[in-house]
Structure formats: C-alpha cells, structure tokens
Amino acid sequence: MLALFVYIPLGFAQTEQDVTEPGVQGNPAVAEFSIVPRKPELTYYPCTQCHQFMTPNPEVRELSSPHPSTLEHGNPRIWCLTCHKIDNRDYLTNLLGENVDFDNAPELCASCHMQRHNDWIFGGHGKRVANWQGERVVYSCPQCHDPHSPTIKPRAPQPLPPVRKGLEYATPHAGEEYQSVWERLEKQDHE
C-alpha cells in the first residue's frame, strides 16, 4: 500500500489520519489518478531472468552491461542496492526494506524527494498523459528521469514557428517601439 505524508492545503485534512491514499476517493485535496505502468517498457524485466543464476554481491563496484557502469544519483551516498532488492531483483526496496513494485517507483522516489513527490501528487510536477480533461493518468518518475542519472540534460531549443500572414506587423522592428497590429494598420492608413 502506498503510504505518503503530503502537504494538505488549509480547509482540507487537518491531521495525518485525515490524509488518504492519493488516487483513492475521500481525499478532497488530491484528484484521483492512475500511473502509466513501467514494466512493459523495461527491456530486461523480469530481472530474475539473469539474476537467478548469479550470487548476490553487495560490494560497491563497477558494473558491466546491460547495467550502467556509473551511478550519477546521490553519489556517494547511495548505490544500486539502496533501491534494488538484493534477494528479489523483480522488486525495488524502500528505506524500510519493503518491496516496491517497479510500477510504483514514485513511492520509492518519495523516500528522498518528498517535496518533489508532493508536487507530482498535486499535479505541479510531472507529465499527464493525453489531455487535461477526463481521467487523470500520469507518468511515473523514471519515465522522465533516468533513475541512474536523473538530471534532465539540456536540449537545443526548437526553431520558432512561422508567423501567420498579417501578424508579422505585431513584432517590433529593430529600434521601434512595440505597437499592436491595429495601431500599425491605423498608422499606415494615415500615411
């Protein structure tokens, strides 16, 4: 079960007991939502396909393919087994040692990133699937952030879209003060 401590705006729940699980009806502060499952997109899932033949090694070391050789997440405070269950690789593990399903990764991320997780719960962080109306379906944290290197890498900006005919007058020319299209047309009529 997903257990969370979330910020509740004034006028809603006042105690920890009043906070219900997000996505479950009864909490007026959190809109009901579901999470897009991750397991179908994981190339090497279930993990036990390979790990059933390996003896678990908890030693911090460089890993070989298909795993990333370096971990750029919380270095040097965490290592693979901080999040991955050593005795059952088909599950993640939280700081209490409880199993966390790969499809419930935000529960694990909340262990260290509680404020960002609260923003995600309330819709201020993350990405919603499809549109802003109807059923609320959201992406899980690892669907946008690589859990082994979670910083979003800079990207080049896209080119500006073309300006529609007639609107090019709204953009001030070099050294000119901004004028609306209507002001420019009026000025042209008087010339």
> Please, what are the averages of pLDDT over each run of 10 residues along the chain (191 residues)?
40 40 54 87 84 85 80 81 88 91 92 90 87 86 88 85 65 63 77 73
| pLDDT recorded at residue 175 | 62
Q: How many domains does the chain have?
A: 1
| pLDDT recorded at residue 188 | 80
- Paired with 99 in beta bridges are 93
**Is residue 174 assigned to a domain?**
no
| Closest CA relative to residue 124, chosen from 188, 29, 36 | 29
| Closest CA relative to residue 22, chosen from 35, 9, 11 | 35
**Is residue 176 assigned to a domain?**
no
**Is residue 182 assigned to a domain?**
no
**Is residue 94 assigned to a domain?**
yes
**Is residue 167 assigned to a domain?**
no
Which are the contacts of 108, defined by CB distance < 8 A and separation ≥ 6? 83, 92, 93, 94, 100
The CA radius of gyration of the chain, in Å to the nearest whole number, is 25
- Domain of residue 93: give its range: 1-156
**Is residue 188 assigned to a domain?**
no
The answer to whether the peptide bond before residue 106 is cis (omega within 30 degrees of 0) is no
**Is residue 191 assigned to a domain?**
no
**Is residue 181 assigned to a domain?**
no
| pLDDT recorded at residue 14 | 38
pTM of the model: 0.62
DSSP string, 89-124: TTSEE-TTS-EE-GGGHHHHHTTT-HHHHHHHHTTS
